[in-house]
Structure 1
Amino acid sequence: MGSCVSKNKARDNDSDHNVDFAAGNVKLITTKEAWDQYLEEARRDGKIVIADFSAAWCGPCKMIAPYYCELFEKYTSMMFLVVDVDELTDFSTSWDIKATPTFFFFKDGQQLDKLVGANKPELQKKIVAINDSLPEYKQ
């Protein structure tokens, strides 16, 4: 899923997702509880959430992962999440994921937008548009 993703769970070093970075990193979601917790935290902090529903075996997901990390580093006032559709099958099904990667954009727990596919220009365009619509309190 890319080297900037950290697993907020027990440290089992067998997992290639288990890379720790400083606070505010791209977070790998492995439970519905973690999803709810991060969305609530973002709502409380007034942050936009970008959620990448992807899979470890998905070629396009691997291709866009480093770019997703770059966006995270550039847009620090947003929260970037990664949901592994294989680890959270039922949850992913509830979001009607037809292809990976699928990106969702949330504000205050409400879905603002969605993008299906590893489309870098479109992903950046949507993030820039959402970022530009935010008040100027950005960090």
Structure 2
Amino acid sequence: MGSCVSKGKGDDDSVHNVEFSGGNVHLITTKESWDDKLAEADRDGKIVVANFSATWCGPCKIVAPFFIELSEKHSSLMFLLVDVDELSDFSSSWDIKATPTFFFLKNGQQIGKLVGANKPELQKKVTSIIDSVPESPQRP
């Protein structure tokens, strides 16, 4: 249930080969792809769960498979992954103090936040969000 504040000396990405994206997790590599996915979520009426993470962060590696699992179970939500090192300026604009940090967004606005690799709390927040969204009628 920890979080990382800065990259430690001796952390070697090649030693720890963890899959951070997969399932229904969309890897965000540019500000434009972020904007596109938020627009898509708004259009589809989906709430976004954004994971601001780092490949060198131990707790991020621990929670990554669980995040992927959640994305596969809850297709009514949109799951995004942002590498804070790849998009450092963008991540700074979200005031990321530690990784992982999860933001929950509806219509582009923050409706929740969780800092740290706390799987039970992440599950609780996702469940709470799903329970708060009325089911949309099936389209013909």
Fold conserved (TM > 0.5)?
yes
The one-letter code sitting in structure 2 at the alignment partner of 1:47 is: K
Structure 2 residue aligned with 1:90: 89
Structure 2 residue aligned with 1:16: none
Mapped to 1, the partners of 2:89 and 2:124 lie a distance apart of 30
Bigger relative contact order, structure 1 or 2 (CA pairs below 8 A, ≥6 apart): 2
The 5 Å alignment of 1:1-139 reads: 2-3=18-19, 5=21, 25-137=24-136
Mapped to 2, the partners of 1:2 and 1:44 lie a distance apart of 32
The answer on whether the counterparts of 2:51 and 2:101 sit within 8 Å (CA) in structure 1 is yes
Mapped to 1, the partners of 2:18 and 2:35 lie a distance apart of 23
Identity %: 68
Task: Using structure 1 for the length normalisation, give the TM-score.
Answer: 0.83
3-state SS in 1 of match to 2:50: strand
Mapped to 1, the partners of 2:33 and 2:27 lie a distance apart of 9
Q: After TM superposition, give the deviation of residue 2 of structure 1 in Å.
A: 4.7
Q: What is the RMSD computed on CA atoms of the aligned residues? A: 1.8
Please list every run of 5 or more consecutive structure 1 residues that lacks an aligned counterpart in the other structure: 7-20
Structure 2 residue aligned with 1:17: none
Task: Kindly provide the CA deviation profile for residues 44-85 of structure 1, in whole angstroms up to 9, marking residues without a partner as x.
Answer: 100010000000000000000010011011101110000000
Question: What is the aligned residue count?
Answer: 122
Q: After TM superposition, give the deviation of residue 116 of structure 1 in Å.
A: 0.3
Mapped to 2, the partners of 1:138 and 1:34 lie a distance apart of 29
